[in-house]
Homo-oligomer: A and B are copies of this chain.
């Protein structure tokens, strides 16, 4: 159930049914940012990034954004020079409708890769989306950016800072091709706080690193990942120029929104039936903690065991063993399923019983905890299982 999404003063959202892939579903979003807004963004590091990602990077460097333009149903990725021309034409159409410059628009696309963007449909849909711009448009927009997602994803907080009310609301989409690298599939987050652009970017980088960059559904990093954070400046809270107390409180709240959205993506992972936290503790550095965590989370054998609720911990052990941590001393390794110890000192825990393991694995959500016994570093990521439905969804995706 989606929580209530509070409007963010200074930001309005409009949607339309442009018929991009399927008829009669919301598939186009226009977001209007009030003049004076600041905007931060992170994008995929996939070398084959999509045309809209390339163009959004250019526009962000050139001008302060006034509009976001988002379509689902077609990723405009792997489309070469034609893709760039198509993305520009869409921005031109929105610029003509709204009277802004094309460079003040950030374009985003998600959907099937490698097919030409149906520009004419988007051009036709833009005026409709602009006529229903509203600060209450978050929920419709959350629906309009979905692809294989089964539920819309949103998070919203209101907090008081020194008597000033600040709102933060965000939406995201993503279900497959999820292993973000410095960004998620698509996430749009806004606050009415007033924040300098470079401080806002630092805030987003930090939040993304601990949220969207800590989830994986299938290990595939998308060509279209993008995450945008907008600050409209309509709250009465004084301008945040540096990393003082106001920043700390706001950044914590934005970080919380990002974690909520990231976790929602994993919970709605393609075919997912389980939400699994992989926590790796006592590593010699963060890198090796992440390496162990992702090796477990990407193992098809672990993921199918999760699906089957089978406490086949040998597969977890094998994943830890092949993760490439140099000089790993097995005698220092402990492994837990929630609070059930399965491996103690590198050996099967004497008190462990299959019934205990099964009781944990049958839960909808649980934690695989690996204690390396090598140092003080810690990392945590979120993932899901690999089910028949993952295969079905991705074998049938284009049919």
Binding site for B on A (CB under 8 A): 45-49, 75, 77-82, 112-114, 176-177, 179, 181, 218-223, 298-301, 304-305, 307-308, 310, 312-315, 317-322, 325, 328, 330, 343, 346-348, 386-388, 390-392, 394-399
**Contact A312/B176 with A80-B346, A318-B113, A347-B80 known, Cβ cut-off 8 Å:** no
User: Are B220 and A319 in touch, CB under 8 angstroms?
Assistant: yes
Chain B residues with CB below 8 A from A47, complex form: 320-322, 325, 328, 330
Highest count of chain B CB atoms <10 Å: which of A77, A80, A305, A399: A80
**Contact A48/B321 with A310-B397, A347-B80 known, Cβ cut-off 8 Å:** yes
**Contact A48/B298 with A347-B80, A348-B79, A391-B391 known, Cβ cut-off 8 Å:** no
- Minimum CB–CB distance from A170 to chain B (whole Å) comes to 25
Whole-angstrom CA separation of A45 from B328 in the bound complex: 12
Name the contact of A330 in the complex, choosing from B48, B312, B387 (C-beta under 8 A): B48
Whole-angstrom CA separation of A298 from B315 in the bound complex: 17
**Contact A391/B313 with A218-B300, A299-B220, A301-B177 known, Cβ cut-off 8 Å:** no
User: Are A314 and B112 in touch, CB under 8 angstroms?
Assistant: yes
Chain B residues with CB below 8 A from A308, complex form: 394-396, 399
Chain B residues with CB below 8 A from A388, complex form: 388, 391-392
Whole-angstrom CA separation of A298 from B49 in the bound complex: 20
Chain B residues with CB below 8 A from A398, complex form: 310, 312
Chain B residues with CB below 8 A from A79, complex form: 347-348
Whole-angstrom CA separation of A10 from B89 in the bound complex: 76
**Contact A395/B113 with A301-B218, A321-B47 known, Cβ cut-off 8 Å:** no
- Identical copies in the complex: 2
Supply 15 further A-B pairs (C-beta < 8 A) apart from A114-B317, A223-B318.
A48-B317, A48-B321, A78-B343, A78-B348, A81-B347, A112-B314, A177-B315, A219-B300, A221-B318, A223-B317, A300-B390, A310-B395, A386-B391, A387-B391, A388-B388
Chain B residues with CB below 8 A from A305, complex form: 394-395
Q: Quick one: closest B residue to A307, CB to CB?
A: B395
User: Are B394 and A300 in touch, CB under 8 angstroms?
Assistant: yes
Highest count of chain B CB atoms <10 Å: which of A81, A176, A221: A221
- Minimum CB–CB distance from A180 to chain B (whole Å) comes to 10
Q: Quick one: closest B residue to A113, CB to CB?
A: B314
Q: Quick one: closest B residue to A349, CB to CB?
A: B80
Chain B residues with CB below 8 A from A390, complex form: 300, 304, 391
Q: Quick one: closest B residue to A327, CB to CB?
A: B47
Chain B residues with CB below 8 A from A321, complex form: 46-49, 221, 223
